[in-house]
Amino acid sequence: MAQESLKAALMRRMVSATVLVASLVLVTSSHLALAANPDFDHLQRCSSSKVKALKFFTVGKASLFRQDCAATDPLAPPLRLAFGYNRAVPGDAFAKSARAMIKRNLNDTDWHALKARIDAFNQHYRTTRDGDLYTLDYHQDQSLVLKLNGETLAEEQGKAFARAYFTIWFGDDPYSEDLKQALLPDS
């Protein structure tokens, strides 16, 4: 009986130690993940503007979020570009428009280098409904993540890709010059 009690006590301690170690590993890894991927919900809203289709139909609102709204490079990560929609917009319209905007803002060499990745990223767009929220989160690790209502739809890596993608709104020939100026007034 004494040996069984001793074995049971040792087993309980081993289980407790294993649970403790596993808990420490989980807590440590979750803190590391938070450090690598900041909580985008706590970034500052630097600017907002109505989003118009065909220059006069308001389809939603765009907002630019940054850690420091006065940063020298307005597109340095981390940043979030959020689009709240108040009507349906077809997913294929996002994909086609994004492709056209990026292509017209890049030189031929850069376009051909990124075209396949851009097309792969764009195929994840979905049709929006009133109240939907698309976000593009640009992380410190140079990843660009597309989400719809918090659900990750696509992720791509690299500063060149992210910079090219942001030309849709912030390039020399953007989707809307008014939107560009409203979101980046000092550009």
34-54 confidence digits (pLDDT tens): 333 456 778 999 999 898 877
- Find out whether 165 and 110 touch, Cβ atoms under 8 Å: no
Angle between helices 91-105 and 108-122 (to 10 degrees): 170
Pick the CATH number of 40-183 from 1.10.3720.10, 3.30.465.10, 3.50.70.10, 2.40.320.10: 3.50.70.10
What is the pTM for the complete model shown? 0.76
Q: Which residue do the tokens 């993608």 mark?
A: 165
94-142 confidence digits (pLDDT tens): 999 999 999 999 999 999 999 999 999 999 999 999 999 999 999 999 9
- The chain-wide mean pLDDT, for the chain, equals 82
- Find out whether 137 and 80 touch, Cβ atoms under 8 Å: yes
Query: For residue 146, what pLDDT is reported?
Result: 97
Query: For residue 87, what pLDDT is reported?
Result: 87
User: What is the domain partition of the chain in residue ranges?
Assistant: 1-36, 40-183
Distance CA 80, CA 118 (A): 19
